[in-house]
Amino acid sequence: MAQISLATGFLLILIGFYGALTQRNLMRMIVGFTIADSGVNLVIVAIGYMHGRTAPIIDSTLPAGEAPARIIDPVPQALVLTAIVIGVGVTALMLAYAYKLYQAKRTLDISTFTELKW
Amino acid sequence: MVSALLLIALPLAAAFLLGLISNRHIAYALTLAAMAAGAAVSGWWVWQLGWAGAVPVDILTAGTAPPFAINLRMGLAESVLALTITLTGLLAAIYLKDTLLAIGQRAMAVVMIAVMAYCGIVLTRDLFNLFVFFELAAIATAGLILLSDDALALGAGFKYLVVSQIISALLLVGIIFAYHGTGNLNIDGMAAVTMGRVGGSLAIAFFLIFIAIVAELKPFPANGWALDIYESAHPAFSALFSAAAGTATLYAADKLLAIGGPAFLPMTTGIGVLTFLAGNILALPQHNDRRLLGYSSIAQIGLVLAIVGQRDILGSAYWFVAFGILVSHAIAKAGLYFLSGMVVERGLTAWAALRARPPLIFAFATFIALLTGLPPFPSFYAKWELAHALAANGRLTLLAVILFGALVEAAYLFRWFGYAIKRAVPEQKLACAPAKGLPTLVVLIAGWALAWLWGRFSGQTNLLMGLPLLFALAFLVTDRLPAWVNNTLAIAGLVAWFALTWQAYDPLRMIFAVIMLLGGAVVLLASYHVHGKRPGFYPSAMLMYAGMAQLLLAGNSFDFFAAWEVLTVGSYFLILRGKDSEPHALSYIVFSLGGAFLILAGFALAANGAPVMPLGGLARVPAAVAPWVFVLLAIGFMTKTAAIGLHIWLPGAHAEAETDVSPMVSGILLKAGLYGLVVVLLTMGRQRLGGIDLTHVLLWIAALTALLGNLMAIFQEDSKRLLAYSSIGQMGYAQFGLAMMNHLGWLMALMFVINHYVYKSMLFLAVGGVAKRTGTREMYRMGGLITLMPLSFISVLIGIIAMSGVPPLSGFGGRWIFYNALLTSDYRLPMILVFFSGPIAFLYLFRLIHTIFLGQLKDEHRRVKEAPFWLMVPQMIYVVILIAVAVVPGMALRRVDEYMTRLLPANGLTWDGFRITSDYGYWDPMAIMIIVAVIFATLFLWLLFLNRKAQWVKQFNIAYSAERPFRPETTHFAWNFFAPYRKALGFLVQPLATAFWDTVTGSLHAGADFARKLYTGNGQTYALQFLGFVLAAYLLSLGV
Amino acid sequence: MTTFSVALTVVLAIAMLGAAVLAITGRSLPIAILAAGLVSLFASVLFLLLASPDVAMTEAAIGSGLTTFLFFFILGRVRGGENG
């Protein structure tokens, strides 16, 4: 299961980047990046998964003493939570850029933003 | 103990607090206070760790040790970096005052978050924490650009975010796989697991992490997005981006290498050096100042990355070298961006507006010197150590590439400086404000303070403690005083220095000392002819003399090289002052720095692993390396003496320089190159390379230089150019004497050094005086000035008699020694060439006096007066000296001859009263003088007697048939004086060397123009280039 | 149970990839945004299967919900440019 998720994650990254780098519309590029971010998150979580083990939440069914032997690696989950939030932050920032650029240029076509070059 | 966590906590707290404050000015004050507090904390730590002997501290967040919690570390390196970042942030915040107040608290908060993020990158020891801080920095960067609301900047910011997304994806994937492989997120923990070696899948994971961090450093070619930001963002922001972000990221890369181990060092160096080279070459065709600074930033950071990749060979010098270049870059870039904020237009030539405020020109020069690695700045010491480490470990190609990149950088920076000094001031005035001036001033002072500090920490002399250099810098203060005050101080200084040090010189060096110091004082007498103020003249001139003074006292390679660069820079500023000298000064500094870098390479190679070498150590260089050292040093010195092929800068530089500067550079400065050759030949003697005796090669080069230099002089129409080409020829002569490697040859060369100084200075002053009065330098426009300028005529007459070697003056003695020397050696063909150059020299000397002073007076010159008094004073002194030396040559030569006997015992001269005897004959100057005087008097009286019935005829009493030529000069006898010679020998003076060097610079420019089309402006293309770069790096690292 | 979860994983994977392709190639932008939201949703279900309930909740709320909302919020303000 982890391998399938891993593979899916990588494929999502590829699809996301492919979309981001071939689409000319800014919004579509951001959509592509969102998908790639999801892919990265999936990869991280998939790495942490260990077969046959359960979620790292200590409650009545999982006392603290038995935890190390029965839970999956909790660290990637912590990482992914941070990564999700950072991802949404950057997405919001990019959307703000799209808005400002549309206001300034009246277009969302990235191939027109080439005044600065060489 | 101030907790280093404050560096993270204070900006964060202040940023949040800003939300509660409604008054913008209070908010701004709070921002500045928070930044200042951060800088204070870092400064406190620097002091504690550097001087007060504290030990590095690990800060455990969450109270638990890693790997279960994140830790931060504050060591000496971290504290210095944090200080750099926080200070840059503070200064940028001050500079951004108007922008921040206009946009409001949001921008202030984002600036503080940016600074906090950079500090976090430096302090953290946890890999994921590093990622978070990087993302924070990226968001803050993009946020600042977004808030600035500039349409061009918006596009740049979005392109940045696009690449940043890809970088963070790679980083995250790399981190999680690295975690999976080592079970650890802590950098030190991971390093302990991998133990400096990564294999298999861990290698790919580490590669991804590493390449992502390196990508943040904007390596070539994956850096198009960064250039757009540099070009369009607010300059203070670019300063922050270049100085602070680059600094933090470089340290992150350094931290990571502890995990990856030495296997990744070659890739680091490769990317770094490629970026350095490409960044500098692509900067050549730039016209936008901020974009040029962007390319330069990328290049410099690439250089530091390459140094990071060399940490295995740099050993304990690693931090000294890396920080030397890094802080020099940070200060210089911040300063230059701050200056660009004051210039309203964006063209490079618009920086001419800086001339409105001379301190800004001084700042501009300082920043350029910091970037190029000129003394006394930290980058100079760092460059020295780096060169020696590279040479000691045999990484010579790398050294050559780095020096080449540095030369290209110097070329475009000094070209820009030339624009600032010489171009027309644009209509838009400077946009100065206290908020802009203060950060620039702070940065400037920091640059000089660090120069002193680095000098103290290097193992070498602290250059800023040298008295001559300090004396020269003192003239910056007295610059506002009238010229005559400065002149008196300068002359007094030179004489006093000579008086202080004269006992330290052996007879050989004494000759050079007399010429450079006392001779310099005499030439400076001519500078009294300028009234009013001369801003910038005295600091430049004294810098040159300081360099020469320290050159003579230099006992080891470091002092020698430092003095060499100081005199190069001083003379560049001096030459730049001429009215039309902009392209020539650039040509001069590029050739000179190229030669200087060759000398550096030679010294580094010769030092054989040691960081410095006494000059005498050149004699003990291992035989395998010695010929190469000889070649490098010889070529380096020959760029200063303008040997053929390397001579194209001299005619322009010397001819276009000011009237009193030409004697300084032609009469005195060229001798520095000869001094260098003296040192090399004395210590290394004859060297063989590939079976060829290198002194033989030197001999040929000298002979060709003498011949071609003199030949080119005879075809010149401009009198100063004629003298300049003549200097080339004469230097060839002197080099010939040195290269003969026998007693008389050296004696002749040294006698030559004195003679040439005297008569070249004299001729330049005379010609300069004539040019001043007649308004032209072209000889065919002059004529008949003998009656109006008799003193100039006398000085030129004596000068050319001396120079051409006709008895009774000292030139004849020189020739006599020279012919004796030739007879004691066994070179035939070069000898013939040099023989020819003698009469050829006479041709142009004759032309000089004939066309200017004899013949018919032009109408427009009927009212000229004699040259200014103070220009005549040194000339008259020289006349006296020439006659004295002619009669009593032993004054100067005798002691030198005895000294030479110690070094080259064979074939000396015997001194016996007025008579001098050699193996082949004798020379009695007094007798010659008397004989010549008698002959001259006899002929003169006979001429007067014969012409007692001569008729005076007015100038216009000539009959002339009706036609009037369109180009009157073509009928003037003085124009194209030597036309028949040109037909016969003109093929020898094809401007081949000029064509060659033009091709070199032309192809560099063409290559740069072609390569920069990579940066198409399309953000997606940039992202694709980045991915291509990652792929290429990975494939190459597999191959390695 | 495990075969069921493996099968579910495969189905989810295929669905995610399909939605992703739709997001990239979809002709209208709102469809593309919704497809991206769908990718996030499926991902959060997959996280549940991978024994990460907190991550699943976060992804569902933020990745699916908040991001899609932000997209439409901005889309409303750039009407006219989305077909550029």
Structure confidence by residue, pLDDT tens digits, B991-1035: 788 888 888 888 988 888 888 887 887 888 888 888 888 888 888
**Pick from A76, A98, A117: CB nearest B1017:** A117
What is the per-residue burial (b if ≥16 Cβ within 10 Å, else e) of B685-716? Answer: eebeeeeeebbebbbbbbbbbbbbbbbbbbbb
Three-state SS for B972?
coil
Write the ipTM: 0.95
Smallest CA–CA separation between A41 and chain C, in Å?
9
Is C58:A84 a contact under the CB 8 Å cutoff? yes
| Rounded Cα gap, residues C66 and C40, in angstroms | 11
* Subunit contact A116:B231, Cβ cutoff 8 A: yes
Using the 8-state DSSP alphabet, how is residue B971 labeled? G
Per DSSP, what are the bridge partners of residue A59? Answer: A62
Six-digit token pair at B146? 């977004």
Say yes or no: A36 contacts chain B, CB-CB below 8 A.
Answer: yes
Backbone φ, ψ for residue B688 (5° rounding): -115, 135
pLDDT given for residue B917 in this prediction:
76
* Subunit contact B132:A86, Cβ cutoff 8 A: yes
Q: Which of A26, A33, A80, A97 to mutate to test the interface with B (most CBs of B within 10 A)?
A: A97
Among candidate residues B180, B167, B29, B149, the one with its CA nearest the CA of residue B90: B29
Q: Which residue of C has its CA nearest to A40?
A: C43
Radius of gyration of chain A (CA): 20
Q: Which of A3, A5, A79 to mutate to test the interface with C (most CBs of C within 10 A)?
A: A5
pLDDT given for residue C84 in this prediction:
44
Six-digit token pair at B88? 């840059």
Per DSSP, what are the bridge partners of residue B692? Answer: B689
Six-digit token pair at B200? 């298999």
pLDDT digits (tens, 9 = 90+) for B802-816: 888 777 777 777 777
Six-digit token pair at B350? 């618009």
pLDDT digits (tens, 9 = 90+) for B331-378: 999 999 999 989 888 889 889 988 888 889 999 999 999 999 998 899
Using the 8-state DSSP alphabet, how is residue B741 labeled? -
**Pick from C24, C74, C75: CB nearest A32:** C24
* Subunit contact C52:A80, Cβ cutoff 8 A: yes
* Subunit contact C84:A95, Cβ cutoff 8 A: no
* Subunit contact B169:A17, Cβ cutoff 8 A: yes
Among candidate residues B244, B241, B216, the one with its CA nearest the CA of residue B230: B241
The three state secondary structure string of B512-558 is HHHHHHHHHHHHHHHHHHCCCCCCCHHHHHHHHHHHHHHHHHCCEHH
Q: Which residue of A has its CA nearest to C56?
A: A81
Say yes or no: A97 contacts chain C, CB-CB below 8 A.
Answer: no
- How much is the pTM? 0.90
Q: Which of C33, C46, C49, C79 to mutate to test the interface with A (most CBs of A within 10 A)?
A: C46
Type of residue at B661: V
| Rounded Cα gap, residues B933 and A6, in angstroms | 105
**Pick from C6, C24, C50: CB nearest A46:** C50
B-contacting chains (≥3 CB pairs under 8 Å): A
**Chain A residue numbers touching B228 (CB-CB < 8 A):** 116-117
**Pick from A29, A40, A100: CB nearest B169:** A40
Query: Which residue's entry shows tokens 């409105």?
Result: B356
* Angle between helix B810-824 and B790-804 (nearest 10): 10
What residues of chain B score a pLDDT lower than 70? 196, 891-892, 905-909, 912-914, 953-973, 1040
A89-118: average pLDDT: 84
C in contact with A (at least 3 C-beta pairs within 8 A)? yes
pLDDT value at C41 more than 80? yes
Q: How many helices (H) and strands (E) does chain B have?
A: 43, 7
Smallest CA–CA separation between A64 and chain C, in Å?
17
Is C11:C20 a contact under the CB 8 Å cutoff? no
Distances (CA, A) of B173 to B135, B197, B207, B267, B908: 15, 20, 11, 21, 79
Say yes or no: A49 contacts chain B, CB-CB below 8 A.
Answer: no
Smallest CA–CA separation between A44 and chain B, in Å?
6
* Subunit contact C9:A30, Cβ cutoff 8 A: no
Contacts 24+ apart (CB under 8 A), B1028-1035: B1028/B222, B1029/B215, B1029/B219, B1029/B221, B1029/B222, B1030/B170, B1030/B211, B1030/B215, B1030/B222, B1033/B207, B1033/B211, B1033/B267, B1033/B271, B1034/B204, B1034/B207, B1034/B211
* Subunit contact A84:C49, Cβ cutoff 8 A: no
**Chain A residue numbers touching B278 (CB-CB < 8 A):** none
**Pick from B135, B146, B1015: CB nearest A117:** B1015
**Pick from B139, B154, B165: CB nearest A101:** B154
Band (pLDDT 50/70/90 cuts) for residue A110 is confident
**Chain B residue numbers touching A101 (CB-CB < 8 A):** 154-155, 158
Smallest CA–CA separation between B1018 and chain A, in Å?
6
C in contact with B (at least 3 C-beta pairs within 8 A)? no
pLDDT given for residue B1040 in this prediction:
58
A in contact with B (at least 3 C-beta pairs within 8 A)? yes
C-contacting chains (≥3 CB pairs under 8 Å): A
